[in-house]
Chains A and B, each alone.
Chain A
């Protein structure tokens, strides 16, 4: 291959790699979805109202309300310190119920209600070490919250 051709070839490969790199990393920042606990979410500034975020906590027992003849549900999500109201329209996943862990993805809107577009329910027990389950202990809060993160 002549020198000119060789540089041309290298150049086009580099250009393509750069284009692909831009494609990969350019969209990266916008696709990040941050995770917060209810205590952290209430402290977020108004800038966050447009961003899609995730919040994890436990569904407060007795807080679930279902609008009759519709798929609209409301409930409260708690991390032991703070509780936030959540609104969702649709069919929630199988594990979703009172007293279970859940992660919601959506927007924290200006009137203090979290509008969820997805609910991911987690069976917190599954992430407990066998020994602790047998002792009947509840999981330490940090580990349990960590298990909800993903």
Chain B
């Protein structure tokens, strides 16, 4: 009964979103505030209805209601409670509902938060968010309903894919969606600016924190996916340039470019058209990212059994969004002419320009690599994969360029730097970089990219440290505080800047991890009988044998390993090979011993007589990747704490 109500609520939400669109249009035509209030109420009620829908679907899962095809397809009686509750977004229909719900939540929040400060923008904001909601809820109601019923109620469900029965996989979609959906608000504000013809820095200032928050969520979502792939999929890596991974990476790249270029507009009132262009592209790529995994054109871990009508709808939806947004941009680009242009190459504007160039080239690279196979197949029928070598050729130099700019950027002033002063400021970081490269060379590193990467990472790290130092010293001199207090005072007086520097420090950490594990990993496949051992780098791994054990909804073969270095036992590792009750395929559970220096990673394969096939990896510095992203997160949160003096657009 509750489930039926929930289904009805979602249908009602569609009508409400449509009312929101109409009301906003009337508000814009007539200028009557009453209609804006109707639009706002429509958005609030859409959120309420979708919340009811989500609650009903959740109830269906928790009560094992297998009359719903979606519940039967994604759960069963044995499923542990945690995974039962989160199976709601384990499949296409439910995850789409989650997306729409998040969109309605953000729309309602935006309407509430900006109601007083941005009264003139509000009708446009309501219009765009309601229109997006109409698009998504229509797809749910007509093409992908989680409430579709089965003709006969099965005795038990098919269960959740074992790969998804994992905390990392549970949180990955919500974080990713909070990123994608998060960009809809800056997008809506940009559209509002274009449609209304009042384009100033206001739309950027209003949405800075939305953008930052969405970017943070997307960053976490992506790295979480990588982290999960690393410890769950058992191939010792975290990124495979799989089309679905790329689909989430592209909006991240353009969003990062946008985060930086919007600072130029705030400081120097330039890059105006560019910024609007970037947020449109970022949001479009977010939509692409959402849809690529479910359109049926790509098969991968993520793909869901496809239906051609979905693909057509998606193309139409994206086409409409792009047509409206780019159309508006072209129509209004006359009003967006910047007041100032770039004075000199040796300026912060220029570093931001190059930053954007690198990020956009990176995004274009991934775009070509991901979509080319699709176009080729559509045109010629030929099937092709773009391999990792393509990405590995392009990304290292781009990454190095970006990190180099990270070091230079904060130290270089706006407008025009005196080259002499610049040389003086960059001397120390450069010197340290040379030392680091030399040290790497002496330690035996011979390949160009890792050596240069080491140098560039050092350059950036020292530059960031110098930044902190000069800010601290400034406060110490002015206010006479001790250095810890001065550092804290400097940080809290400019949370944006300091938060940004912390994020950059996290990026350097991640880069160290990526270089270490990318360039210096060791991999071994061995066949072991009980009692055998093998060497892995400077370690010796001893296999003691395998045993069976039973878990909640699986049974597992556990391998017992000891890792030794010389005469000292470093670790005991127990990789498993699990057979879940509802799955025909076994699942690997890798065992990892992680330290700051390296990960030792073991997986257990199938038996060959009395012997077992084992994969072993020695991955240096992987831990720096995960900790680096946490530092990035902390820096972003710190930067988010800085509010703004509300000027708004009440005039």
Contact = CB atoms under 8 A, between A and B. Distances in A.
Tell me, yes or no, whether A binds B: yes
Interface of A: 1, 5, 8-9, 12-13, 16-17, 20-21, 23-25, 27-28, 30-36, 52, 54, 66, 68-71, 89-95, 122-123, 125-130, 146-150
A68 B588 contact: no
B644 interface: no
B305 A123 contact: no
Interface in B354-385: 354, 357-358, 361, 364-365, 368-369, 372, 382-385
Contacts of B393: 23, 27, 31
B344 A5 contact: yes
A150 B342 contact: no
24 contacts: A1-B343, A1-B344, A16-B354, A20-B398, A23-B394, A25-B368, A27-B393, A28-B386, A30-B390, A31-B390, A31-B393, A32-B384, A34-B382, A71-B527, A71-B613, A89-B525, A92-B606, A93-B235, A94-B577, A95-B585, A126-B305, A127-B303, A130-B73, A146-B299
Contacts of B343: 1
Contact of A149 (B358, B369, B372, B383): B383
Contact of A69 (B161, B388, B527): B527
A146 B373 CA distance: 13
A34 B384 contact: yes
Nearest to A125: B584
Contact of A27 (B345, B394, B526, B584): B394
Contacts of A33: 384-387
Contact of B305 (A12, A66, A127, A146): A127
B648 interface: no
A24 B394 CA distance: 6
Given A28-B390, A89-B525, 20 more contacts: A12-B345, A13-B354, A17-B357, A17-B361, A20-B361, A21-B361, A24-B364, A24-B394, A27-B389, A30-B390, A31-B387, A31-B393, A32-B384, A34-B382, A35-B385, A52-B387, A90-B525, A91-B605, A91-B613, A130-B73
Interface of B: 69, 73, 161, 234-235, 243, 298-300, 303, 305, 307, 341-345, 350, 353-354, 357-358, 361, 364-365, 368-369, 372, 382-390, 393-394, 397-398, 525-527, 577, 584-588, 603, 605-606, 608-609, 611, 613-615
A66 B386 contact: no
A74 to B, nearest CB: 13
| Nearest 9 Cβ contacts at the A-B interface | A31-B390, A35-B383, A91-B605, A27-B393, A91-B613, A90-B525, A31-B389, A33-B385, A31-B387
A16 B357 contact: yes
A95 B603 CA distance: 15
Contact of A94 (B69, B342, B387, B588): B588
Contact of B243 (A12, A94, A122, A150): A150
Most chain B CB within a 10 A radius of its CB, from A20, A52, A91, A130: A91
A24 B389 CA distance: 11
Given A68-B608, A91-B613, A127-B299, A32 B525 contact: no
A31 B386 CA distance: 6
A149 B297 CA distance: 11
Contacts of A95: 585
Contacts of B341: 1
A93 B385 CA distance: 20
A61 to B, nearest CB: 15
Contacts of B357: 13, 16-17, 20
Contact of B585 (A25, A30, A94, A127): A94
Contacts of A150: 243, 298-300, 385
B525 A91 contact: yes
Contacts of B372: 28
A93 B615 CA distance: 11
Contacts of A8: 345
A1 B415 CA distance: 10
B326 to A, nearest CB: 22
Contacts of B300: 150
B605 A92 contact: yes
A1 B270 CA distance: 15
A90 B605 CA distance: 10
Contacts of B389: 27, 30-31
Contacts of B585: 94-95, 123
B525 A24 contact: no
Contacts of B358: 20
B364 A147 contact: no
